[in-house]
Amino acid sequence: MKTYDVIVIGAGNGGLAAAANCAKAGLSTLLLERHNIPGGSASSFVRGRFEFEPSLHELAGIGDEKEVGTIEEVFNRIDAKVDWCRHDSTFRLVVPAKEGDKDAFVNDDGVLVTVDARMPVGFEAFSKKLDELVPGSYESCRKAFDLSISMFKAFECLDDPKKIPGSLKDVPDIMRMVSHTMKEALDALGMPKKAQDIFNTYWCYMGSPASQFDFLYYLCVLHSYVRSGTGIPRLRSHEMSLAIDQKIRDFGGEIWYNSEVTKIIMKNGKPAGVVVNGEKEVYGKQFICNSYPHKVFTELLDRKDVPDIQLKMLNSRKVACALTTVYLGMNKTKEELGITDYSVFIAPDSDSDKQYEAAQNYFSGYCIINCLNEIIPDCTPEGTSQLFLTTMTFGDVMKDIRPQDYKKFKTKVAENMIETCEKALNISIKPYIEEIEIALPPTFARYLNTPQGTPYGYMLQKWDSMLPRTIQYIKDQPFDNFRFCGASQERGDGYGCAYYTGEKAAGLVIKALKEGK
């Protein structure tokens, strides 16, 4: 019976990157996926005459015509081709005014708001715009971006001990900065509170608010968005998944779809193989897992085989946020609808901690609205457009919903999200909906096979942030021939983060096999 050099469990972004890099290195590689297509969240689906993007809002790090970005580099390293559509903006934040708000004003859409911030690409342009919105914030914003430029270099060196001493010389403040939250650091820089709230808009992409999320990581994320804008593959994120699928095969790797790993076979205290679909045994030397530790430790392994420290760590971490998304195929163009931006964050309060508190329940008034036609004008038939609305929740918010009430409840959630967008942007959506699909946490749980349907892994908190996880990465793996990758690992959610963890796990496997360890 054939024994593979490496078996990769799960063809999500991390698993795809891991399998491609292992196969490219000449290792006999088997990728196992329970679905019939690759990508996990990075796929697409069709309703009527519309093809929807399930999860990708925008990618930072695809670069521009002058400079290759970090995401592009991932694909270049395995010679995978993707047709990128770039967009030269970051975000728009709209906070509708409440009764009695003293700083309320009427914006260009005719809506009473306390914040309406369209933020541009470029560190200088972003800083000037922030100062225009909140006078006196320019200097602190520029200081933050000056730090981000040098911190980004250190950030890229974290996994190479040989580079770290040099990076520390270039960034003498790094060890001070990594121990502070976004709020603590921006306070120290003297950034006004309202400016901080705008600066921190992308917190939801990390899943932790300003009082909990570490400044270094957020600074590097924002740096990626502001430096050269964002983008998306022309054929949705599934184009990325299929491109990597093809390269795995080109490099001699095998991919088995409709092949769910139902058990991990243990021998001499560590994994030796897996059981596929409850019957077929497949053996390997090294294993990379894109599934969540929750599933692995409770379903794929017997309790006696799970190291106690792994269960302690799992129990100490909080499952990150879950998403609800409403996909809308519209029988009007974006211009006819009055849509002028690609990505708009609508929040009941500009403060990220208050947004986080509100997201402990549904109907918080928080919603992100995206219009794919703003980046890819012909992504829908002529005379139409597509929108997708997203909100986040924390905890098991569905626990009190009875199965017989589920359809009614999700319709109510969708109506609330649509009305939130209509009021905040002073537009009309409901009358022009041709197709609608609603995905609540149970939908994502069923498809992604994650706890509570989260795509975000475990919440990045001050004690359990990116740097401690990076330092502890080897010790956090349950066996010396088994490594996790994907959103559950050190950098949390994000396509780029998942590719990074897959590459990293592959690198360690390649090194271990070449050194005979």
Quickly state the pLDDT bin for 279 (edges 50, 70, 90): very high
Tens-digit pLDDT profile for residues 333-388: 999 999 999 999 999 999 999 999 999 988 889 999 999 999 999 999 999 999 99
In the chain, which residues fall in CATH 3.50.50.60? Answer: 3-47+237-318+458-514
Q: What is the pLDDT of residue 148?
A: 87
Give the bridge partners for 391, in sequence order: 324
Q: What is the pLDDT of residue 266?
A: 98
CA distance 269 to 311: 17
DSSP string, 176-245: HHTTSBHHHHHHHTT--HHHHHHHTTTHHHHT--TTTSBHHHHHHHHHHHHHH-EEEETT-THHHHHHHH
Q: What is the pLDDT of residue 505?
A: 96
pTM value is 0.94
Q: What is the pLDDT of residue 507?
A: 95
What is the arithmetic mean of pLDDT over 101-130?
96
User: 3-47+237-318+458-514 has which CATH code?
Assistant: 3.50.50.60
CA distance 230 to 198: 18
Give the bridge partners for 65, in sequence order: none
For residues 366 and 515, the model is more confident at 366
What is the arithmetic mean of pLDDT over 90-111?
94
Assign 42 to helix, strand or coil: coil
CA distance 302 to 125: 55
Q: What is the pLDDT of residue 17?
A: 98
Other residues' Cβ atoms within 10 Å of the Cβ of residue 386: 23
Quickly state the pLDDT bin for 125 (edges 50, 70, 90): very high
Q: Is it the case that residue 282 has pLDDT exceeding 70?
A: yes
Tens-digit pLDDT profile for residues 398-418: 889 999 999 999 999 999 999
Q: Is it the case that residue 128 has pLDDT exceeding 60?
A: yes
Q: What is the pLDDT of residue 163?
A: 56
Q: What is the pLDDT of residue 74?
A: 93
CA distance 248 to 255: 8
Tens-digit pLDDT profile for residues 8-22: 999 999 999 999 999
For residues 155 and 45, the model is more confident at 45
For residues 178 and 273, the model is more confident at 273
Percent of the chain with pLDDT over 70: 95
Quickly state the pLDDT bin for 420 (edges 50, 70, 90): very high
Place of tokens 């592959």: 506
For residues 149 and 1, the model is more confident at 149
Other residues' Cβ atoms within 10 Å of the Cβ of residue 349: 19
Cα-flanking dihedrals φ and ψ of residue 128, to 5°? -65, -40
Quickly state the pLDDT bin for 173 (edges 50, 70, 90): low
Assign 81 to helix, strand or coil: coil
400 class by beta-carbon count within 10 Å (0-12 exposed, 13-18 middle, 19+ buried) = exposed
Q: What is the pLDDT of residue 301?
A: 97
Number of helices and strands in the chain (H, E): 20, 20
CA–chain centroid gap for 375, Å, is: 19
What is the arithmetic mean of pLDDT over 208-233?
90
For residues 153 and 257, the model is more confident at 257
Is 51 within 8 Å of 236 (Cβ atoms)? yes
Cα-flanking dihedrals φ and ψ of residue 339, to 5°? -80, 125
Query: Can you read off the two tokens belonging to residue 491?
Result: 């950098």
Which range is least confidently modeled, 60-74, 122-136, 165-179, 483-497?
Answer: 165-179
Q: Is it the case that residue 37 has pLDDT exceeding 60?
A: yes
Q: Is it the case that residue 26 has pLDDT exceeding 80?
A: yes
Average pLDDT, the chain: 92
Q: What is the pLDDT of residue 47?
A: 97
Assign 137 to helix, strand or coil: coil
Tens-digit pLDDT profile for residues 240-254: 999 999 999 999 999
Q: What is the pLDDT of residue 389?
A: 98
Q: Is it the case that residue 233 has pLDDT exceeding 90?
A: yes
What is the arithmetic mean of pLDDT over 172-183?
76
Q: What is the pLDDT of residue 467?
A: 81
Percent of residues in the chain assigned helix, strand, coil, to nearest 5: 40, 25, 35
Place of tokens 């017997």: 302
CA distance 94 to 423: 11
Q: Is it the case that residue 127 has pLDDT exceeding 90?
A: yes
Q: Is it the case that residue 331 has pLDDT exceeding 60?
A: yes
Q: What is the pLDDT of residue 2?
A: 87
Q: What is the pLDDT of residue 63?
A: 77
Q: What is the dihedral of CA 501, 503, 505, 511, to 10 degrees?
A: -150
